[in-house]
Amino acid sequence: MLELRACIDVNDLEQGIAFYTQALGLTLGRRLGDGWAELLGAPSPIDLLAKPEGSSASPTASLPRTYRRHWTPVHLDFVVSDLDAAVQRARSAGAVIEKDIEVTKWGRIALLADPFGHGLCLIEFRGRGYDELLEAPSLG
């Protein structure tokens, strides 16, 4: 069985732990030295990795790490049962709300950025969730 772990670079590990535990209700699991913390409470563990601003993200990447708001093709969606309350918790913990809550056929979504410039979404499903986009099952 393949295990998925999400890794998030932060320039301040204690601030990262505070944000993700307060905003999303995750709990601190293990620590490995001063530069790594495991957060639990999601279907996959989330590892916060302390990486200094300006450091190299990869030996093959020419762009240094930055913790200003940035775009990446990979982000995390957190499914919540009460979107309004989750947005308020995230905002109180330091998230930036980037777009008003959007209502869709499958539920509601809020687009945010964490204090480290990473985009994330909070999602509240309704009905059959994403399956609402499929044809309704026939009863015949």
- From 2.40.100.10, 2.60.40.2550, 1.10.10.10, 3.10.180.10, which CATH number describes the 68-139 domain? 3.10.180.10
Q: How confident is the model at residue 18 (pLDDT cuts 50, 70, 90)?
A: very high
| Domain 1-54 part of CATH 3.10.180.10 | yes
Q: Which amino acid is at 124?
A: E
Give the helix ranges, DSSP H, for the chain.
13-24, 83-93
Q: What is the pTM of this model?
A: 0.88
Residue 89: other Cβ atoms inside 10 A: 17
Residue 57: per-residue pLDDT: 82
Tens-digit pLDDT profile for residues 47-81: 999 999 999 888 887 888 899 998 888 899 999 99
Strand partners, 38: 47
Position 140 pLDDT exceeds 70: no
- List CB contacts of 99: < 8 A, sequence separation 6 or more: 110, 111
Q: How confident is the model at residue 114 (pLDDT cuts 50, 70, 90)?
A: very high
Provide the residue ranges of all domains of the chain, joining segments of one domain with +.
Answer: 1-54, 68-139
